[in-house]
Amino acid sequence: MMEVETDILRGQFERLPTKRKNSVILSKTSLTYGGGRDGCCVCLGQHGSLSIVTTKVVDIYGAKAYQGPEGDTAAYFQVYSCPRYEKKRVRQKVCFRVSSSDSEEGNIAIAEQWVRTILWLIKDPERNLSSEQEERTLPASRKLLILINPFSGSGKSVRIFHEHVEPMLTEAELEFNTITTEYAGHAGEMILSMNLLDVDGIVICSGDGLVYEVINGLMKRPDWEAAINIPLGVIPTGSGNALCLSALFATGEPNDVTSAIFGIIRGNLMDLDICSVITPTEKLYAFLSVTWGLVSDVDIESERYRFLGERRFLIGTVARIIGLRKYRGRLSYLPANDINGGEDNLAYNFTPREDVSSSAAECDVTSLSQHQAHIQENLNGVFSKRISGNFSSLGPSDHLLPPLSSELPPSWKVVEGEFILGCPVFLSHLGTDLMANPDGKFGDGLMGIFYVRSTTGRMALLDLFGKMKDGSHVRSHHVEYVRAYAFRLEPDTSQTGNLVVDGEKIDYVPIQGQIHKSLAKLMCVTPPPKM
């Protein structure tokens, strides 16, 4: 027998702009309203002829109570939601007029009670609401830092922010401070030196390039352990939006701007792996991929078509397959199934220190308030230190990586020769219709490496890129696909070529990297199951 859910609040209000009386019922999971021709039925759900609307609480992102114009003793409350319709989320607003009390004070008290209850249900459905009602407290508002790149993609970031992002954040009553970047590297410079004590989340209104800047800025701070745990959010306005796309895919959300904004407002947290990438001269941090060969050529050479958005990658891929190049080099990796905890798998003969990611991974990542308190405690303790220019000792221990000039442990696998491409990938997608790493999961502590040998022809390559839409390319005999903890890539530097980290070109030199499980956090609607 199905359990009947208990009503939390029930009332009769006019619904605007129709001015019809509606019976309104709030339960722990839904807001239901409607009424018949007489508008006075309080038996919602018992008569099939009634026009009934049900909004799930998990789809609500804000509510607001306010008084009417002078001379109107009624009060009003609005509820903002983002339900799913087919393949997208749609913003909706419903407004109710409260006039059941004889006094203006009584009506505003009723409206505020509804708003207070709805907001607490959004934040914590299991919370005992009685104390909040007695004390008339509201959930604490989060403070977001929003970085807008006006040059990303086809230059639409500023318009999207003002037309879509700002209205939803305002309806959710989130506090935010916006900064518009002025040049490449500007965001990284600001993040490196900025006081983040009052920041509950960093929202990036751009493509993957600005995400890369922000992550590297956070990781180069003296308080990097706390800074990298500040939740990140992405509004996809660039030509490459792989992080946002992968996150929406992993959480079962539609791939659209509204869904991305809704995830930031709801503010649940999911784990994000970060890969340290070491070159002969610097240490970088990547969240997306390291690409070599055809894929990196397309990334760099299609920059001239940036005004086309993501279509630039399709044009670049076709052009590069026609003018196919081949690259010599050596690709090494530590397979996922070869880690058994023994010393043979470690690059150094010591037990690696506990990374910040392990303590963060053990906590309940969906508990945003506890996560924020943990961050603030660590930031308070470290930010007062003077920032220096030497970051060689910062960041998590790369205990699986020997020095770049040293031999690799015997547990590593090595392939060498002539290739068309080779890519360690840390997310599921490199772009729309490019599921490069189909087994990739957020917070799994693994990378997917796929490579294609030089014996593969042009028609086979076109077929492979078509199959990347659903990840079936990894089942082709032309592709080698493995899961790994670490990699080393040594291109033949007597050739010219491109090496690209998260879409950013670096020197064409030997590099290596190790994945760090759950090092960062990403805001989302509902986190996927823990790995």
DSSP letter at 289 equals: B
In which residue are the tokens 């997306």 written? 288
Alpha-carbon gap, residue 106 to 74, rounded angstroms: 9
Q: Is the dihedral of CA 501, 506, 511, 516 positive or negative?
A: negative
Q: Six-digit token pair at 320?
A: 């590069």
Q: Which of 61, 11, 56, 7 is nearest to 35 (CA)?
A: 11
Verify whether residue 208 is a known catalytic residue: yes
| Contact status, residue 65 vs residue 111, Cβ threshold 8 Å | yes
Alpha-carbon gap, residue 93 to 429, rounded angstroms: 33
Q: Is the dihedral of CA 178, 197, 377, 128 positive or negative?
A: negative
Q: Which of 69, 77, 68 is nearest to 24 (CA)?
A: 77
Query: How many C-beta atoms surround the C-beta of residue 103 within 10 A?
Result: 9
Q: Is the dihedral of CA 378, 379, 385, 391 positive or negative?
A: positive
DSSP annotation string for 365-401 = TT-HHHHHHHHHHHHHHHTTSPP-S--TT-S---TT-
Alpha-carbon gap, residue 239 to 236, rounded angstroms: 8
Active-site option among 59, 208, 273, 299: 208
Encoded amino acid at 473, one letter: H
Alpha-carbon gap, residue 286 to 125, rounded angstroms: 36
Q: Which of 107, 94, 105, 104 is nearest to 11 (CA)?
A: 107
| Contact status, residue 461 vs residue 323, Cβ threshold 8 Å | no
| Contact status, residue 406 vs residue 398, Cβ threshold 8 Å | no
Rg (CA), the chain: 26
The residues assigned a catalytic role are 208
